[in-house]
């Protein structure tokens, strides 16, 4: 066991007893039209600011079933954004949407494409639809930008929902950064959705990010599981058409 794996495993075991998230399996229907709803199904998280961080690295072009991961992510986000009420503060940052001639350029390819504000769901989706998955995976840099710039105001509760299909590949550790950040910040929690990640070290990194911030960690290997994870993270009520099977506690 290498040093990094040992650190991630230790952190996860230490925190696992105190932090638990249920991941029930649901079957969903897909709306025929993209029409924004009133958001009546979203539980009230008054004052909370939500930032999606979405992976647009080149590996998101890999196929998952009969669709690419990025197509699955976009179509799922389209459905979820319909359910977010206009009064919710929400924004979006992406990474891996650009390539560079040097590692530094590739490892700073992270952009706040839609600042956190109300009445923002349509704008977020329009920006998502115009971005291509082409680059690397600068997760740590993106988290730094979110913490120090996107979430510069420390007076409100904040949550990041990170969707990634891989671990950090820019010679940084998101786990180490978050451990240090939590020594001075208690206003940020991070929910992580691991989209069909087969690498255990990458899973450990991302699980650490969620657990250290008292967030939730999800493994999503299908479009339905991705949608379920987003709904659970956002506290959206599920419209269930089939049998619900929940893990025993």
- Phi, psi dihedrals of residue 65, rounded to the nearest 5°: 75, -130
Q: What is the pTM of this model?
A: 0.78
pLDDT at 42 over 90: no
**Range from 102-106, 109-113, 211-215 carrying the lowest mean pLDDT:** 102-106
pLDDT at 67 over 90: yes
**Closest residue by Cα to residue 90 from 66, 119, 62:** 119
pLDDT at 34 over 50: no
Between 138 and 45, the more confident residue is: 138
Per-residue DSSP letters for 79-132?
A: HHHHTS-TTSEEEEEEESS---SSHHHHTT-EEEEEEEESS-HHHHHHHHTT--
pLDDT at 136: 96
30: confidence class by pLDDT, cuts 50, 70, 90:
very low
The pLDDT tens digits of the residues spanning 174-187 come to 999 999 999 999 99
97: confidence class by pLDDT, cuts 50, 70, 90:
very high
pLDDT at 71: 96
Q: Is 118 helix (H, G, I), strand (E, B) or coil?
A: coil
Between 43 and 58, the more confident residue is: 58
- DSSP 8-state assignment for residue 214: T
The pLDDT tens digits of the residues spanning 117-128 come to 999 998 999 998
Between 77 and 32, the more confident residue is: 77
Average pLDDT value over all residues in the chain: 81
Between 211 and 239, the more confident residue is: 211
Rounded Cα–Cα distance for residues 163 and 69 (Å): 11
pLDDT at 120: 95
Domains of the chain: 47-233 (3.40.50.410)
Q: Is 213 helix (H, G, I), strand (E, B) or coil?
A: coil
**Closest residue by Cα to residue 168 from 134, 129, 194:** 194
The pLDDT tens digits of the residues spanning 9-19 come to 444 444 433 43
Radius of gyration, CA atoms only, the chain: 17
Q: According to the 3-state scheme, what is the secondary structure of 156-188?
A: CCEEEEEEECCCCCCCCCHHHHHHHHCCCCCCE
């Amino acid at each position: 066991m290498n040093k990094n794996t040992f650190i991630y495993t230790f952190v996860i075991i230490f925190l696992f007893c105190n932090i638990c998230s249920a991941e029930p399996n649901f079957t969903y229907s897909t709306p025929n039209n993209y029409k924004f709803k009133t958001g009546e199904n979203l539980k009230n998280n008054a004052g909370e600011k939500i930032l999606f961080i979405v992976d647009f690295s080149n590996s998101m072009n890999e196929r998952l079933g009969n669709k690419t991961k990025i197509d699955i992510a976009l179509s799922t986000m389209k459905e979820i954004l319909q359910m977010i009420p206009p009064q919710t503060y929400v924004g979006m940052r992406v990474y891996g949407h650009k390539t560079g001639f040097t590692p530094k350029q590739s490892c700073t390819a992270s952009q706040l494409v839609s600042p956190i504000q109300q009445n923002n769901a349509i704008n977020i989706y329009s920006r998502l639809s115009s971005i291509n998955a082409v680059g690397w995976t600068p997760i740590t840099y993106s988290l730094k930008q979110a913490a120090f710039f996107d979430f510069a105001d420390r007076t409100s509760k904040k949550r990041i929902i990170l969707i990634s299909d891989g671990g950090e590949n820019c010679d940084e550790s998101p786990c180490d950064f978050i451990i240090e950040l939590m020594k001075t910040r208690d206003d940020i929690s991070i929910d992580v959705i691991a989209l069909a990640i087969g690498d255990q070290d990458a899973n450990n990194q991302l699980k650490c990010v969620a657990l250290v911030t008292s967030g939730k960690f999800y493994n999503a290997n299908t479009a339905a599981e991705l949608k379920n994870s987003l709904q659970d993270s956002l506290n959206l009520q599920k419209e269930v058409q089939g049998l619900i099977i929940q893990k025993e506690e």
